[in-house]
Every structure is written in C-alpha cells, then in structure tokens.
C-alpha cells in the first residue's frame, strides 16, 4: 500500500510539472524569468500585460540611450568641424585684408566675403550643436536615468517575486490536499492545509493589488517615453531643418556676391583711348616744356599722388608705360589731353589717365612695390 501511495504521489508531481510546462510560454523570457504561473485567468492577463510593458519600456530606454549617444558623438565631431571652419574663416579674412594682386583685388574681396560667410555658417553650426544638446540629449538622458522608470520596474520585479512565491505556495497546497485525501481523518493535516490555503489567498490578494499598481506605473512610464522621445525627435529634425535653411541662405548670398563681381569684371570694357588724343610727349618735352607748365586741377598741392590701375594698358611707344590691373602708380603730371605721367615698379612713362583711379590710402607694402 505504501508503495502504491508513493507511486501515486510521484505521478501527481509529474502531472503538476506538465501543467506548469504548458503555461511556461506565459512566463518565460519575462521581466523576472518566472517559469511557473497561477492558472487564474485575470491574474494571467495581468501578468502578460506587465510582461509586455516591461519589454516595451526596456526597448524605449535603449532607443533613448542610442539617441543620446548618437547626438553626443555628433556634437563632438561638429565641435571639431566648427574649430576647423573658424580657422578657415580667419585665414580667408587675413588674406583679403593684407593682400591684393597686380590684376586687381577681386580675389581679396571674394576672400573677405567667403571669410564672413564661413564665420556665419560656423556660428549657425554652433547653434545647432547647442540645440541638440539642450533640447534632445539632456531631456532623454534625464529620462533614461530618472526615477519614474526605475520605480515602475522595481514594482514589476516585486510583483514577479510575489508571483513566484504564490506559485510555490500553490504547489504546497496541492501536495497537502493530496495528503489529506490519502489520509482521511487526519486533523493535523487538515489544519495545515487550511493554513496553506489561507496563505495562498493572501498572497494572491496582495499580488493582484501589487500587479495593478505596477501596471499603472509601467503604463504611465511607457506613455511618457513614447511622447517625450517623439517630441525630441521632432525637435532634432526642426533644429537641423532650421540650420540647413539658414546655411542655404548664407551660401546663396555669397554665391550671388561672387557671381556679380565676376560678371562685373567680365563685362567691364577697358576705357577706349580717344583716337583724337595726341600722342604722349617725348621725354625731352617732359624735362623741358612740360616741366615748367601748370595743369589746372591736374595734381594735388603736393604735386604727386597715388593711383590704382583699373584697366590694363599696353605701351605703344618708348615713352609710354605698361600697366596691369591692380598696379599702383606714382602720378607726377596730368596733361589736359588725357595723358598722365608717372612711375610704376621703377619705370616711368606716359599712360591714359582714365585707366587709373586715385587712392588716398594704400598699404605700405604696395607703395614699396611702386618704387
């Protein structure tokens, strides 16, 4: 008889394990790794809801962390690009201020415009990086590390531990029920069964309360995660859109300035020398006749002034002076017939006065080139 009872007990345990295996799919891979379930329908639904919420909030947390890491990496790289772009802006401005060319100052102007535009673009990039940090990375980082998510997860974990305890107690109740059936009239066994059942009911009641509390907290966290992450993604898109729109405006303005200057140069004809102009005087006349003449309004009170060549001129005689755009000439005489006499790069001669423009301020390095 004892052998039969032992065999029956072993059979019941095997059946219980098989029942637990049937419901294992509801508990496996969850937030607490529980393999057993309570076969109450309402409790089962509560458990499944919490498991889904746990998985959802965990995935959202990882996504938020990925966004933060991506934005932080973008900020580090962008800060280096701002540094490089600012250096390029400074170099362009320096060239534009300190240098001109014999063929004109077009490149100097372009360098100044480019330096100004580049500085504006790097400022806009800096504003973008700042916005990404304050409007995207910081709010998401705060939520990833925040208390609401952790508190909700702790509640869910407490529920899972209590559920495992209830499952163990349910198995204990099943064993005691079997013993009572086998030993009819055993008062002590009946008392123990009653106590086990009471404890199980208490655990299930507490578990239901804790499950609802955990589900409410997890649902609130999930909604907050979804809402905040979407808001930060939109803020990131808006910040980048504003940045690229502003950059496009700066580049359009810069291109317009450069194209206009190029068109002005290409379309600007050289002032034609009037065919009726008499040829320039010889140097004998320069040193003789013209040296004693006064030309009304032809030169300033000092007698000499500096002029910048605005149009190239090719000398047609020995007494004329070759000119290239951007050259500076010391003008010593201006005649009434449209010719001027002066010195450029160590050479003296006549040239059409309309090919130069008077300059009041010239870099010292340019004056040295004239002499």
**Same domain, yes or no: 236 and 351:** no
pLDDT of residue 303: 65
pLDDT band at 148 (very low <50, low <70, confident <90, very high): confident
Taking only the tens place, the pLDDT of each residue in 61-113 is: 999 999 999 999 999 999 999 999 999 999 999 998 887 666 667 788 889 99
Give the number of domains in the chain.
2
- Of 262 and 126, more confident: 126
Query: Is the model's pLDDT at 170 over the cut of 90?
Result: no
**Same domain, yes or no: 347 and 258:** no
Query: Is the model's pLDDT at 33 over the cut of 50?
Result: no
- Domain containing 329 — which CATH number? 2.30.30.40
Domain-embedded: residue 45? yes
Query: Is the model's pLDDT at 299 over the cut of 90?
Result: no
**Same domain, yes or no: 200 and 79:** yes
- Two structure tokens written together for 200: 């199980």
pLDDT of residue 230: 96
Domain-embedded: residue 332? yes
Domain limits at 223?
38-267
**Distance in angstroms (rounded) separating the CA atoms of residues 164 and 44:** 13
Query: Is the model's pLDDT at 21 over the cut of 60?
Result: no
pLDDT band at 296 (very low <50, low <70, confident <90, very high): very low
**Same domain, yes or no: 150 and 225:** yes
**Same domain, yes or no: 160 and 52:** yes
Domain-embedded: residue 291? no
pLDDT band at 300 (very low <50, low <70, confident <90, very high): very low
Q: Which of 84-88, 207-211, 239-243 has the lowest mean pLDDT?
A: 207-211
pLDDT of residue 133: 96
Helices 147-182 and 2-22: crossing angle, nearest 10°? 150
Highest mean pLDDT pick, 1-15, 18-32, 246-260: 246-260
pLDDT of residue 268: 61
**Same domain, yes or no: 172 and 313:** no
Last residue of a domain, one of 252, 267, 282: 267
Task: Report phi then psi at 333, rounded to 5.
Answer: -145, 145
pLDDT band at 10 (very low <50, low <70, confident <90, very high): low
Last residue of a domain, one of 219, 250, 267: 267
Highest mean pLDDT pick, 26-40, 61-75, 176-190, 340-354: 61-75
Query: Is the model's pLDDT at 26 over the cut of 50?
Result: no
**Same domain, yes or no: 212 and 321:** no
**Same domain, yes or no: 317 and 175:** no
Q: Which of 28-37, 190-199, 301-310 has the lowest mean pLDDT?
A: 28-37
Query: Is the model's pLDDT at 15 over the cut of 70?
Result: no
pLDDT of residue 234: 96
Domain-embedded: residue 288? no
Mean pLDDT of 151-174: 88
Which element (helix H / strand E) includes 340?
strand 339-344
pLDDT band at 295 (very low <50, low <70, confident <90, very high): very low
Query: Is the model's pLDDT at 345 over the cut of 90?
Result: no
Burial letters for 153-189: b for 16+ Cβ neighbours within 10 Å, e otherwise?
bebbebbbebbbebbebbbbbbbbebbbeeeeeeeeb
**Same domain, yes or no: 225 and 341:** no
Mean pLDDT of 35-64: 81
Q: Are strands 347-352 and 328-334 parallel, antiparallel or unpaired?
A: unpaired
**Same domain, yes or no: 322 and 232:** no
pLDDT of residue 74: 95
Domain-embedded: residue 298? no
Is 66 in a helix, a strand, or coil?
A: helix
Domain-embedded: residue 150? yes
pLDDT band at 305 (very low <50, low <70, confident <90, very high): confident
- Of 158 and 276, more confident: 158
- Domain containing 101 — which CATH number? 1.20.1270.60
**Distance in angstroms (rounded) separating the CA atoms of residues 299 and 296:** 8
Within 10 angstroms of residue 31's Cβ, the number of other Cβ atoms is: 22
What percent of the chain shows pLDDT beyond 90? 33
148 by Cβ neighbours in 10 Å (0-12 / 13-18 / 19+) ranks as middle
Domain-embedded: residue 9? no
Domain-embedded: residue 54? yes
Task: Report phi then psi at 346, rounded to 5.
Answer: 85, 0
- Of 187 and 162, more confident: 162
Q: Which of 46-50, 229-233, 266-270 has the lowest mean pLDDT?
A: 266-270
Mean pLDDT of 2-27: 54
For the chain, the 3-state helix, strand and coil shares in percent, each to the nearest 5, are 70, 10, 20
pLDDT of residue 39: 57
pLDDT of residue 194: 86
Mean pLDDT of 291-315: 64
Last residue of a domain, one of 267, 288, 315: 267
């Amino acid at each position: 008889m004892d052998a039969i009872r032992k065999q029956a007990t072993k059979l019941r345990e095997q059946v219980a394990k098989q029942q637990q295996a049937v419901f294992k799919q509801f508990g496996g891979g969850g937030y607490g790794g529980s393999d057993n379930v309570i076969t109450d329908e309402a409790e089962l639904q509560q458990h499944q809801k919490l498991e889904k919420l746990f998985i959802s909030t965990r995935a959202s947390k990882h996504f938020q962390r990925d966004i933060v890491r991506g934005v932080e990496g973008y900020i580090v790289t962008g800060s280096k690009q701002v540094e490089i772009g600012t250096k390029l802006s400074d170099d362009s401005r320096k060239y534009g201020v300190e240098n001109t060319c014999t063929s004109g100052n077009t490149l100097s102007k372009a360098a100044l415009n480019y330096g100004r535009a580049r500085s504006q673009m790097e400022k806009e990039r800096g504003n973008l990086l700042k916005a990404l940090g304050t409007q995207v990375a910081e709010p998401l980082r705060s939520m990833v590390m925040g208390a609401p998510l952790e508190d909700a997860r702790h509640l869910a974990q407490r529920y899972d531990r209590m559920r495992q305890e209830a499952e163990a107690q349910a198995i204990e109740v099943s064993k005691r029920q079997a013993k009572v059936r086998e030993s009819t009239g055993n008062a002590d066994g009946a008392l123990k069964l009653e106590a086990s059942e009471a404890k199980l009911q208490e655990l299930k009641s507490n578990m239901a309360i804790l499950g609802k509390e955990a589900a409410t907290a997890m649902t609130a966290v999930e909604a907050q995660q979804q809402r905040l992450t979407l808001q930060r993604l939109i803020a990131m898109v808006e910040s980048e859109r504003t940045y690229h729109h502003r950059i496009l405006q700066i580049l359009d303005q810069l291109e317009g300035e450069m194209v206009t200057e190029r068109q002005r140069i290409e379309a600007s004809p050289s002032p034609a020398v009037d065919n009726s102009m008499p040829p320039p005087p010889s140097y004998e006349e320069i040193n003789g006749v013209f040296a004693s003449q006064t030309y009304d309004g032809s030169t300033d009170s000092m007698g000499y002034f500096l002029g910048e060549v605005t149009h190239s001129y090719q000398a047609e005689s020995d007494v004329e002076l070759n000119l290239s755009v951007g050259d500076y000439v010391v003008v010593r005489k201006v005649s009434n017939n449209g010719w001027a006499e002066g010195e450029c790069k160590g050479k003296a001669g006549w040239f059409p006065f309309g090919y130069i423009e008077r300059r009041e301020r010239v870099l010292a390095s340019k004056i040295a080139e004239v002499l």
